[in-house]
Amino acid sequence: MRSWTEWPKLLRSVDPATGLAPVPPSTPVLADQSVRAIHRRAVWVLAAAQVAGGLGIGAAISVGSLLALDISGSEVLAGGGSTAIVLGAALLALPLAAVAARSGRRRSLSLGWGLAAVGAAVVVLAAIVGSYLLLILGMLLAGSGNAASLQSRYAATDLALPANRGRDLSLVIWSTTLGTVLGPNLSEPGRVVAEVLNIPPLVGPFVFCAVGMALAAVLILSLMRPDPLLLSHQLETDQAMIRAAAADSPGPVSDVPTATVWSIVWHVPLARLGMSAIVLSHAVMVAIMTMTPVHLSQHGATLTIVGLTISLHIAGMFAFSPIFGWLADKRGRLVTIAVGQLLLASAALTAGTSGDSEAQLMVGLFLLGLGWSAGLVAGSTLLAESVPSHVRTRVQGTSDLVMNLAGAAGGALSGVALAQIGFGGLNAVAAALILPTLLFSVRAVGRPG
């Protein structure tokens, strides 16, 4: 067995192609300070990229539906822009997860942010030529940033200690706060940039979007070495091979059919609850948030009020995630998920009964962000630790796929709901989506987590 003093030298011998250091299989790595240092570095790099990329996401969210309304002239089609972002994140979730499983988080996340930057540039072009279809294409590509941002939270758990898994995951989510809170308030600076570049005023924020997402891609690609997922896989495989050799049994299975992934999630109660919390919390949030700018504009609110409302909402989503990470680690994942569902119900009630009150609607959107945060942090932590390691990346990608498909459906139907039953009716329908998660929570009571 190699001594602990040999680890720093070994970890400096990084493969330039993969960013992976050779790891001796017989070393008890989870207690090793060198691996802990690699983990801390990865979390800081992820956090920096989230700040830059979050700026782009916040800018896109704030004017996406308004830009779609301006180009299409249709209230029903107004939700198409934000829906396309969510749908793009869904469509790219599994491909990015596959890249991560094969080549590591560094290549996967940098690819996701890079595609998003290209998408933002396409949105600018769409606004210049007045093409709704080109706008949707650009928004679909921009959704890759959402996919990369979401998968970054799992990257924070690749080398995390079990007792700190919720905290580390929540810190990466929290780091998105600065960019995403500033992003929606770039409408006025974006208007100035648009005047300088001689492009439509509403598309100005997408210039910031393209720059922020490109910067996130560069940060991940250049600084995330060694790759935490590849290192984690190597360590787990080496340890599993040692256990298998001792027991004279085969090692871990490297791949499984998609049907098996679904079967594992459904038949593991804690994994099923984790995925439900992630998917349905997101669907509730997107359905209500997407039509809030349209609802405000219908009642005469200015772009400044719209930006402030979305900023408060995004602050609720990200700024308090470390609290929910601490709650998930100290009081349990199930308790935190239940808190999240209660917050979502309170948000729908507050926003749905706000009428012309901009202040009450701001409170409702803030609560909506808090509920989403609690559900995502606790649900993601629970899902990551409830499935076998050899299917974990596939399960994570599948979770994000379903999460974003649900969000896309919520965003697409929200415009129809707003037109047919009003903003209050939209909130009531969205609130009903918390019921399955509450049911799964009751069934999971008494189990670890």
DSSP string, 113-126: HHHHHHHHHHHHHH
The answer to whether 347 touches 365, Cβ cutoff 8 Å, is: yes
Asked whether the beta carbons of 87 and 405 are under 8 A apart, the reply is yes
Q: H or E element: which one contains 448?
A: none
Residue 249 domain-assigned?
Answer: no
Closest alpha carbon to 158 in 213, 218, 221, 229: 229
DSSP, res 449: -
- Domain limits at 326? 33-229+256-444
- Residue partners of 260: CB distance under 8 A and separation at least 6: 391
Q: In terms of Cα–Cα distance, which of 137, 115, 142, 117 is closest to 126?
A: 137
Q: CA-based angle 231:149:313, to the nearest 5?
A: 145
* Total residue count of the chain as it appears in this document: 449
Instruction: Say if 283 falls within a structural domain.
Output: yes
Question: Does residue 354 sit within a domain?
Answer: yes
- 290, 279, 238, 234: which is closest to 380 by C-alpha? 279
Q: Does residue 323 sit within a domain?
A: yes
pLDDT, residue 202, reads: 79
Flag whether 438 is in a domain.
yes
How far apart CA 307 and CA 310 sit, in angstroms, is 5
Separation of first and last alpha carbons in the chain = 35
Domain count, the chain: 1
Q: Is residue 449 situated within a structural domain?
A: no
**pLDDT value of position 76:** 66
What CATH number does residue 178 fall under?
1.20.1250.20
pLDDT of residue 355: 83
Q: For the chain, which ranges sit under pLDDT 50?
A: 1-31, 242, 244-254
d(CA 413, CA 423): 12
At residue 54, the pLDDT reads: 80
Domain assignment present for residue 183? The answer is yes
Cβ-contact 377, 322 below 8 angstroms: no
The rounded distance, in Å, linking the Cα atoms of 229 and 399 is 18
Whole-model pTM: value is 0.74
Q: Give the span between the Cα atoms of 276 and 379, in whole angstroms.
A: 8
The tokens for 189 are 């600076």
Distance, in Å, from the CA atom of 88 to the CA atom of 405, rounded to the nearest integer, reads 9
Cβ–Cβ < 8 Å for 286, 411: yes
DSSP category for residue 252: -
Residue 408 in domain: yes
Cβ–Cβ under 8 Å, residues 395 and 154: no
Residue 432, phi then psi, degrees to nearest 5: -65, -20
Q: Where are the alpha helices (DSSP H) in 248-357?
A: 258-267, 269-298, 303-318, 321-330, 333-352
Taking alpha carbons only, the member of 91, 185, 182, 73 closest to residue 142 is: 91
Tokens describing residue 420: 């047919």
